[in-house]
A and B are shown apart, each in its own frame.
Chain A
Amino acid sequence: GAGVSQTPSNKVTEKGKYVELRCDPISGHTALYWYRQSLGQGPEFLIYFQGTGAADDSGLPNDRFFAVRPEGSVSTLKIQRTERGDSAVYLCASSWGLAGTDTQYFGPGTRLTVL
């Protein structure tokens, strides 16, 4: 079946602009995660959804970052007033949402470049 998909694959924007990044999880997965991977680093957690609600947003760096998942499937990560330091690969992952040994499946990522 289809895996996690993310669009766009690449996004170039100018400092101060607003961007939206989209994630389509695996069908039926109730848990959805956003991570950010900077060059030469491992992914860092941003936010976790269980269904429609953001159950853990402790990784969002500041209030310029926001994410939604209105129908419990597709999620959008929104970044306002982008800064050069926001440049990174943004990864989405989904899972069945089972506690304990749940495996997260990752999408290919969106590479965001802020000029």
Chain B
Amino acid sequence: GNSVTQMEGPVTLSEEAFLTINCTYTATGYPSLFWYVQYPGEGLQLLLKATKADDKGSNKGFEATYRKETTSFHLEKGSVQVSDSAVYFCATQTQGGSEKLVFGKGTKLTVNP
């Protein structure tokens, strides 16, 4: 089945620093790829997604490109803010059948002022 390997955290950055959180996946076929974010005390929210190779998902200054050749979907942001402090989860979606999500373990990001 599908699996996701995500960069271990925690990650601590200063405000305005560049962020990369690595994510690689294994899957059969061409799964959709997602980044979800969990802010302190809140539920999981979809941050961005990409549904086919070379697609770029973007939202709130975050970007990730679906790279089939390297089976990766790394999350990047050019200048992080304190409000970006959260746990970030990479996920793949199985195709056909249940379309369930398979998540990585999550990466906790703390941004200091």
Contacts and interface: CB of A to CB of B under 8 A. Distances in A.
Interface of A: 4, 31, 33, 35, 40-45, 48, 55-56, 58-59, 91, 93, 95, 99-109
Given A42-B104, A100-B51, A101-B32, A55 B97 contact: yes
Given A44-B103, A101-B32, A101-B51, A56 B98 contact: yes
Contacts of B105: 40-42
User: Chain A interface secondary structure, helix, strand, loop or mixed?
Assistant: loop
Nearest to A33: B100
Interface residues of B, number: 26
A107 to B, nearest CB: 6
A110 B92 CA distance: 23
Interface of B: 4, 6, 32, 36, 42-46, 49, 51, 89, 91, 93, 95-106
Contacts of A55: 97-98
